[in-house]
Amino acid sequence: MTLRSLAVAVAGVLAATGVWAQGGKTEVSYPSFKAGADLRVRQEYFEYIPYRPGGYARVVGSENPSGENNYLRVRPRVWAQADLSRDARIYGRVTNEFRKFWEPDYEGRQAGYTYPDELVVDNLYLDLKGLFNDTLDIRAGRQDLIYGNGRVLLDGTPLDGSRTIYFDALKLSYRGIPDNTIDLLLISNSPENNLALHKPKNDRYLSGYDPTELEEMEEKAAGVYWKSNSYKELPFEAYYLYKEESEWEDNSQYPFAGRYRAGNWVYPELDLNTVGVRLMPKFSDSLSANLELAYQWGERGSADVEGGMVDAVLRWSPPVLESMKPKLGVGWYYLSGDKQGSSNKDEGWNPVFARWPQYSELYVFAFDRDGAGRWSNVSMPHVDFEISPTPWYKAELMAGYMKAPVDDGAGGGHNRGLLFTWWNKFKLGEKLLTGSDRLTGHLLLEWLNPGDYYDDLPHNAVFARWELMYAF
């Protein structure tokens, strides 16, 4: 019996009886039901994003040498929740995303996202709360998992963009220690969505590596994530994750690893261990910090795997313009790189389940040569500033200087480039049509001046996106 079928079976029993025991007490209630939806509309434009083998990302033929992309994304979602009792709940969500491409303008690009595109189950899980004297919660089924700043665990379907980020998982949350939560996780993700209600002609791969109709990669993981607020001035998190990636093959021109066989690149099975800690000290009402350290070890085939990560930020709220909530930050993001010539050892950081934009929507495309969003080999000191001049508007700016610890780029140098990002976030209204709806939006602008890590590229990379999102 699969995880999802087990969840449905348990939920059916609870629904039939309407009875759930907690702390020796029995409560009888009737199920309640609620539902909602949201609609997200985005337009994205980017071009001249550097690509490690040389040239620009997303190059499509001679008519698009800059990798120019300009398209509209429309994602509706509908969700429903059935509360079977106070401590038992079933949640489900269905989504869809179709796009309109202006650039690149060719039939193959549009075909994968033609309206209405495929309809997929995005979330489907069972919640059981308050077990064992209110110390244990269980969530079983398809669910989103976001931990910390998302440096190791956030996106289970990176090649799906932000249409979905789900994991097929079992999560047990132990709350028996005051001010502490310990989550036990079991994850088993397939490269294709096996809960698609309507599938298009071309199946969509989700795990982050496009095999071009060859064998795709399965991902399994198990781990523990501990969150502690026992010390109010020093909250912390600690985690251990074991991840297994199955052997797979593709025929790409620039694979990041693997061995050549019968015209394709074969990637051996990966066994990866990741251990880390995240400290969040609060020095005063105006000064705080975030420090996350992680180390990896394991094997890919016969080769050893080792990597490290540092994510450090110090933030200060100056005692001026306090009504606008200004914040200044300075930080450093470091991911180890794989040294050239060490064929029996891979020392590049593996992002585990963190193949998402992280610090930059623009720069995540630069890693597509290594699989969608495979962040690695980065050292980026950065400064940031945020301010909210009105209750409905917040601006976030960041400047970062990116280097590559290992000079494995086409240009032979270490300088990845100078990056600027500017988020404009808007609260546009609430209770517009219903008593619980809201309308939000944002405008994101990014600019990158590529360095000598890449070939001699004459253009700066740009990324722009606007979004409107209505939810009720």
pLDDT value of position 117 = 76
14 vs 257, higher pLDDT: 257
Given this model, what pLDDT does residue 194 score?
84
Percent of the chain whose predicted confidence (pLDDT) is above 90? 67
Q: What is the domain count for the chain?
A: 1
pLDDT one-digit tens code per residue, 352-398: 999 999 999 999 988 877 667 889 999 999 999 999 999 999 999 99
pLDDT at 338 over 80: yes
pLDDT digits (tens, 9 = 90+) for 399-422: 999 999 999 888 999 999 999 999
Instruction: Examine the pLDDT at 1 and tell me if it is beyond 50.
Output: no
**Rounded-to-integer distance, Cα 215 and Cα 378, Å:** 30
Work out the pLDDT band at 59, boundaries 50, 70, 90. Answer: low
Could you list the residue range(s) of the whole structural domain that residue 339 is in?
Answer: 3-471
Torsion of the alpha carbons at 65, 66, 67 and 71, rounded to the nearest 10: -110
Structure tokens at 113: 């996202």
Work out the burial of residue 84: count CB atoms within 10 Å of its CB; fewer than 13 is exposed, 13-18 middle, 19 or more buried.
Answer: buried
**CATH code, 399:** 2.40.160.100
In terms of average pLDDT, the best of 94-98, 214-218, 234-238 is: 234-238
> Residue 449: what pLDDT?
97
pTM for the model stands at 0.88
pLDDT of residue 250: 58
pLDDT score of 320: 92
359: alpha, beta or left? (left if phi > 0; alpha if psi -120 to 50): alpha
- Is the pLDDT at 62 greater than 70? The verdict is no
At residue 107 the predicted structure's pLDDT band, cuts being 50, 70 and 90, is: low
Whole-angstrom distance, CA of residue 296 vs CA of residue 328: 31
Token duo for residue 390: 């009105």
What is 120-174 written as a DSSP string? EEEEEEEEEEEHHHHTEEEEEEEE----TTSSSBS-S-GGGTTS---EEEEEEEE
Q: For residues 279 and 236, is the Cβ–Cβ distance under 8 A?
A: yes
Residue 94 forms beta bridges with which residues? 78, 121
Strand partners, 43: 72, 466
